[in-house]
Amino acid sequence: MENREPVDLPHAAQDVTEHVGYRLKRAHAALRGALDQVLREHGLTVPQYSCLELLALRPGLSNAELARGAFVTRQSMNVVLRGLQDDGLIARPATADHGRARPAHLTPEGQRRLDAARSAVYAVETRMIAAVPSARLPALLADLERMAEALGG
């Protein structure tokens, strides 16, 4: 057996399940599972729903901007956009005015589907944040933002 140098722990923890990263990943997996379940009833995936939310907020976003906002690759967003377009939920020009960007916009059906799914998604978030005392929620959100920024996100 090889002799290994001791590694400094980032904080006091008995095992990996007490590490911040592990707990974040566990919370993310639980959230993703709950969202997958409720969005399935609306015929949407999490990336599709994210795309619709982003387009409702900022119509005309490009594939690259949507990919960044939905935390997927540009290639994956291409697939998402094609599916949403095939389902009549978004519209994009057949060709780009300049460069390769084809800005997307919600269709009336896309807005209707988003509105229907949004209440289910918000119910999941409400259930999740009910586990955190309301007085601590602003600090939690600020801490999560600082953690993402510390890692360049």
Query: What pLDDT was estimated at residue 97?
Result: 65
This prediction has a pTM of: 0.84
Give the C-alpha distances (Å, rounded to integers) separating 45 from 18, 30, 39: 30, 15, 6
Which domains does the chain carry?
18-150 (1.10.10.10)
pLDDT under 50: residue ranges of the chain: none
Q: Of the candidates 66, 39, 55, 122, which has an alpha carbon nearest to the alpha carbon of residue 89?
A: 55
Q: What is the CA radius of gyration of the chain?
A: 20
